[in-house]
Amino acid sequence: MSGWQEVVIDEVRPRTPRVASVFLRLRPAGQRAGQHLEVRLTAPDGYQAQRSYSIASAPDAQRVELMVERLEDGEVSPWFHEVADAGDTIEVRGPIGGHFVWTPQDGGPLLLVGGGSGVVPLLAMLRARREAGAAVPALLLYSARNHEELICADEIEAMAAADAALRVVLVTTRAPARRAQDRDRRIDAGMLRELLGGWGELPQRVFVCGATPFVETIADGLRAAGVPAGAIRTERYGSSG
């Protein structure tokens, strides 16, 4: 992990009503899909605030992409949504993380389960898989309240349409499903058993990311469905922003 460095924001792009992509002029050495950057902002009076954001871009991307969810009472995230613009500078440190990471060489079958902005590190894994041309069987379960809050849904669906080894199930808890393979209720143990049975693969690499209650429900349901506990890696995000 490198020390703090000043980097330039290349672009800020809205993704959903509450999530924006922040593209940085940075190509960190040794990045692996699933890692994150620490971001530090300094106010004119010297006050500093620091947060961690998962990297959404593939390791070989020309720019690092962070995805920042706006939290109304946050110290950092509102700045990215209301103030930040191309040419601004911020301080970053990383990439950080060695447990919640995947490379195409790790193989699969690969199961990814994300809730809300928890899809961000999983998206990096899917992008890394695509860029490497890996044929690893993969299944993504991605849950949000409604379709407008599904981050990069068009890109994710396009990846699945172009790759027979990738299945995607979009789950909306407060809006009806739009495709036959999607679901419109909360993910529970029964849904996990159904979807894993339909997939026909026993996942060997499992990554679950989201709010703590979501992650605990998914991990418990996967173990009940026969997924080895040692195959499951989890990452939780908090409410600070």
Q: What is the mean predicted confidence (pLDDT) over 73-77?
A: 90
> For 97-143, how does the pLDDT look when each residue is reduced to its tens digit (9 = 90+)?
999 999 999 999 999 999 999 999 999 999 999 999 989 999 999 99
Tokens describing residue 104: 């195409």
CATH of domain 5-96: 2.40.30.10
Say if residue 29's pLDDT is above 90: no
Question: Lowest mean pLDDT: which of 5-14, 26-35, 58-67, 120-129?
Answer: 26-35
Per-domain boundaries in the chain? 5-96, 104-236
Q: What is the mean predicted confidence (pLDDT) over 181-192?
A: 96
Report the run of H or E that residue 158 belongs to, with start and end. helix 153-161
The model's pTM? 0.95
Give, in words, the CATH class of 104-236.
alpha beta
Say if residue 240's pLDDT is above 80: no
Please state, for a pLDDT cut of 90, what percent of the chain lies above it: 91
pLDDT of residue 73: 85
Across the beta sheet with 64-69, what order do the strands follow?
A: 48-54, 36-42, 89-96, 5-14, 19-24, 64-69
In 3D space, the residue among 88, 100, 16 whose CA is nearest the CA of residue 55 turns out to be: 100
Residue 156 CA to chain centroid, in angstroms? 12
C-alpha distances (whole Å) from 172 to each of 117, 147, 153, 194 are 14, 7, 12, 17
Question: Lowest mean pLDDT: which of 21-30, 98-107, 153-162?
Answer: 21-30
Q: What is the rounded average pLDDT for all residues in the chain?
A: 94
C-alpha distances (whole Å) from 98 to each of 26, 107, 180 are 20, 17, 37
Say if residue 1's pLDDT is above 60: no
pLDDT of residue 9: 98
